[in-house]
Structure 1
Amino acid sequence: MPTASDTTVRRDVKWLQGSAPELISRQPIAEVLDTDRTTVDTLIANGTLPSVKLKRRVLIPRQAVLDLLRLPRIDAA
């Protein structure tokens, strides 16, 4: 029987480079950057990290985070 930890997605650089969606909410980005959501909000506010606002949701393009970290994109097969 699977446990909760078996179905939890590990949000790290490999996830970001591979199977992450094209637009990602602030919390998963905070997990990848090993910081909190307030820091992600600051990065958005000062223009370091571009974002898209859809109604009440703030989403960050995956490529913008890869560019910030200077990482290549590696799509999952």
Structure 2
Amino acid sequence: MKLDSNSDFEVLEFSDSRYEKLTVEIQYKGESAAQINQDQGMDRLELEVFADLDSSVLKVPLAGFLESLVLAKRSIEA
């Protein structure tokens, strides 16, 4: 689902074979920016931020990224 306030951000629920449970990915302009997984339990959600610092830096609007994180957390808890 895309953010109402910034459609460049999208939150996607999916099953990643690297994890036992559901994961939620945050994309910015179609690029993976972060992923939340619940393999350690709902009270210990893990956030992975994707960045390849050798080739480039992914810059995203902070407000949109924070809103995406909240939306992603809510969707994984539902």
Where on the TM-score scale, by shorter chain, does this alignment land: which range?
under 0.3
TM-score, normalised by the number of residues in structure 1: 0.23
TM-score, normalised by the number of residues in structure 2: 0.23
Report the structure, 1 or 2, having the larger strand content. 2
Which has more radius of gyration? 1
